[in-house]
Amino acid sequence: MIEDLLLTDLTVELPKAVRLQRLVSALQAEFHCGAVVLLQLEEDALRPVAACGLVREALGRRFIVAQHPRLAAILARRDLTSFSHDSTLPDPYDGLLENHAGAPMPVHDCMGISLYVESRLWGVLTLDALQVNTFDQPARDAVRRCTAVVEAAIRVTRIEQQIHALRLNRQADPVPGKAADSGADAEIIGQSGALTALLQELDVVADSSLPVLLLGETGVGKELFARRLHRLSPRRNHPLIHVNCAALPESLAESELFGHAKGAFSGATTERPGRFEAADGGTLFLDEVGELPLSVQAKLLRALQNGEIQRLGADHPRQVDVRIIAATNRQLQAEVSAGHFRADLYHRLSVYPVPIPPLRERDHDVLLLAGHFLELNRTRLGLRSLRLSPEAEQALLAYRWPGNIRELEHVVSRAAIKIISKGAQRSDIVTLGAELLDLDLNGLATEPAAQHAAASSEHPTAPMALPVLPGLTSAVRPLRDVMDDCQRRCIEHALQAAQGNWTQAARQLDVDASNLHKLARRLGLKA
């Protein structure tokens, strides 16, 4: 019997993903289903944690309960909920069925049941059969009997996670139905080996107070990993303060970080604490730390060494207890060699360096992330269903993603808007073909917006993806010199097009005007 098979798995130590996947696979075979999905409730949305019969990118989607009446109906009852083949309620899996991708769900039987762990609502189990009358009364009774075993499997995985957390001297999320990664923190989506290994490493280092240096290309989501480190640390109940060092005007950087006394400079009419004091007892996340001016780097080093800061214009230092997490997409060792970054500060920040893998090294995570962005755009645009064609999936897997996750988000969003502007009906199942993604599989997107996606937010002064510029020699040169030449020529071209107007030039280059002035001074274009 199916219950015996499911119970056997409970006696074996298995990874969570494997245990739950074996569970839905067994249910699919037993009940002759086209799709079986196990979804966990996370605040107002259901997240698939295991599925059989759906396209791969469906695991990256989040189904907002209020937008899916079938899922809402299942959650509202403790007993099994069935939907007849002629039900008018929209099916959440329309267009996502593995063997009918891009088409409406065929006339079928559908049922689901809410799941409870420790008497609290955990999520739902849904079953869809493509043949009408598959789910007769004996089948429904069998699903009811299986529910206790399914809930037991979920409970076992929770206990195993709690044991793992205790080994790390950390409390696991104790509340069923509430995700550990929910709330203000965006979710880290993926199942690749590279991501799994990284998260395991972060779980260990989070419990210490060591400074962590997050290294990675622009667009890989360094802020999400910083938030995870803080959330899993003993400082979780204290503030996490985010500072974008690239956006700090050089003249105000010291005041922003360390605060200032009344009268320290023109306009300082009151005392003001800085970000270090705001983060006291918690974590300070220094994003794009390589952009800090050398003058501020010296004071940052003092804070790291002694836990001591001094407000600008103040006479006495102050003690703070702050853990530093820094992030950069620059090669700081090269910056040290070039004299742009202090060697002693670099060694203090990089006590524990953590390289974040680029999207191209994360196997099929690109499809799960695409599914996440597809669902966001489906909701935003009011579509019945939004999915990828098989050709589009292959294009996403083949592309190199120089702008990483941020570029993927822009590509999916732009394609969704394009297909609607071309006349797609919101009541249809809308399929994005490979041609709508505008990807050049040699590695660069064909549209300027995708070329610049990586530089638009996380590191405004980073060099854009550009073709080889005339005048550059083919001889081997230091990488920084080549990058500086590219940036210098881009700024000169933008200034020429803007007739010398720096604000217009900054807008054309999609960078902050103050950062453009700072970069121009470094490149010798401005006094």
From start to end of 378-527, where are the E strands? 385-388, 429-432
Q: Where are the beta strands (DSSP E) in 254-298?
A: 283-287
Q: What percent of the chain has pLDDT over 90?
A: 54
Higher pLDDT, 470 or 501: 501
- Output the six-digit token pair for 523: 């490149």
Q: Which CATH number fits domain 360-455: 1.10.260.40, 1.10.1060.10, 3.40.50.720, 1.10.8.60?
A: 1.10.8.60
Q: What is the pLDDT of residue 174?
A: 42
Strand 45-52, strand 109-117: pairing: unpaired
Which pLDDT belongs to residue 462? 38
Check pLDDT > 50 for residue 338: yes
pLDDT at 1: 59
Residue 340's SS3 state is coil
Q: Does CATH number 3.30.450.40 belong to domain 2-167?
A: yes
pLDDT above 80 for 466:
no
| Measured CA distances, 346 to 13, 206, 343, 351 (Å) | 43, 20, 5, 9
Encode pLDDT of 77-106 as tens digits. Answer: 999 999 988 888 999 998 898 877 666 666
* Ordered DSSP codes for 203-265: HHHTTS---EEEE--TTS-HHHHHHHHHHTSTTTTS-EEEEEGGGS-TTTHHHHHH-B-TTSS
- Distance CA(258)–CA(396), nearest Å, equals 44
**Residue (of 367, 409, 404) closest to 48 by Cα position:** 367
Work out the widest C-alpha separation in the chain, in whole angstroms.
83
Are 96 and 79 in contact by the 8 Å Cβ rule? The answer is no
Residue 4's pLDDT is: 63
Q: Which helix (H) or strand (E) holds 124?
A: strand 120-129
Mean pLDDT confidence for 450-462: 39
Phi then psi for residue 48, to 5 deg, are: -65, 125
> Helical H runs in 46-177?
69-75, 137-167
**Separation of alpha carbons 391 and 412, rounded Å:** 14
Residue 323's CB is within 10 A of a number of other CB atoms, namely: 23
Fold of the domain built from segment(s) 479-522? Arc Repressor Mutant, subunit A (1.10.10)
Left, alpha or beta for 281 (phi > 0: left; psi -120 to 50: alpha)? left
| Residue 12 pLDDT | 64
Token pair recorded at residue 174? 């104790």
Strand order in the sheet with 81-83: 63-64, 45-52, 35-42, 120-129, 109-117, 81-83
Residue 281 CA, chain-centre distance (Å), reads 26
Average pLDDT over residues 351-356: 95
When pLDDT is cut at 50, 70 and 90, the band that residue 454 belongs to is very low
Give pLDDT, residue 9. 62
* CA–CA gap between residue 125 and residue 114 (Å, rounded): 6
For 193-355, CATH number out of 2.60.40.2890, 3.20.20.140, 3.40.640.10, 3.40.50.300 equals 3.40.50.300
Task: Kindly report, residue by residue over 124-167, the tens digit of the pLDDT.
Answer: 999 999 888 889 999 999 999 999 999 998 998 888 777 766 66
pLDDT tens digits, one per residue of 111-125: 999 999 989 999 999
What is the spatial distance between Cα 316 and Cα 387, in angstroms, rounded to a whole number? 60
Is residue 221 a contact partner of residue 405, using CB atoms and an 8 Å limit? yes
- Kindly indicate the confidence band of residue 472, based on its pLDDT and cuts at 50, 70 and 90: very low
Q: Which amino acid is at 19?
A: R
Secondary structure string (H, E, C) spanning 58-82:
HHHCCEEHHHCHHHHHHHCCCCCEE
| DSSP category for residue 164 | H
Q: What is the reported pTM?
A: 0.76
Question: Does 32 score more than 80 pLDDT?
Answer: yes
- Residue 90's nearest CA partner among 74, 67, 111 is 67
Contact, 324 vs 284, CB < 8 A? yes
In the chain, where the domains are located: 2-167, 193-355, 360-455, 479-522
Strands 109-117 and 63-64, bridge-based pairing:
unpaired
pLDDT at 187: 79
Query: How many C-beta neighbours within 10 Å does residue 247 have?
Result: 16
* Residue 156 pLDDT: 87
Name every residue whose Cβ is closer than 8 Å to that of residue 230 and which is 6 or more positions away in sequence.
206, 236, 240, 282, 283, 285, 325
pLDDT of 475 over the 80 cut: no
**How many helices (H) and strands (E) would you count in the chain?**
19, 15
User: What digits encode the pLDDT tens for the residues 372-400?
Assistant: 999 999 999 999 999 999 999 999 999 99
Identify whether the C-beta of residue 173 lies closer than 8 Å to the C-beta of residue 287: no
With beta carbons less than 8 A apart as the criterion, state whether 181 and 228 touch: yes
Both tokens assigned to 428: 């249809």
Q: How many residues does the chain have?
A: 527
Tell me if residue 37 falls in helix, strand or coil: strand
pLDDT of residue 237: 95
Provide CB contacts within 8 A for 246, sequence distance 6+: 287, 288, 291, 459, 460, 461, 512, 515
Q: Which amino acid is at 45?
A: A
CB 28 within 8 A of CB 4: no
Bridge partners (DSSP) listed for residue 286: 243, 326
For the chain, the average pLDDT equals 84
Q: Is 461 helix (H, G, I), strand (E, B) or coil?
A: coil
Element (H, E) at 116: strand 109-117
